[in-house]
Amino acid sequence: PELTVLGKAQEFFQICDLEDKGFVTRQDMQRLHPELPLSLEELEKVFVTLDADGNGSLTPKEFITGFSQFLLEQIAL
């Protein structure tokens, strides 16, 4: 199951990191706006929440951590 979670997190990371830079910026996140039912403000909130060190870019590790937390919450519910 851990591999599946990692695989999913990486898939989602790649959706955000279209240019395959290895990190996701605020702009990358805002680009998802037409595709996802979230407002620009909400996408900004998602970015800030995932950006644990607050350096303005999301690493795969930060993304995976956020996704794991989300899954744990879902399981708890």
Q: Which residues bind other proteins (CB under 8 A)?
A: 11-12, 15, 35-38, 42-43, 45-46, 48-50, 66-67, 69-70, 73-74
**Shortest Cβ 49–other proteins spacing (Å):** 4
**Shortest Cβ 46–other proteins spacing (Å):** 4
Give whole-number Cα distances, 4 to 1, 12, 36, 51, in Å.
Answer: 5, 12, 23, 23
The candidate with the shortest Cα–Cα distance to 67, out of 1, 3, 12, is 12
**Shortest Cβ 33–other proteins spacing (Å):** 11
Single-letter amino acid code for the residue at 29: M
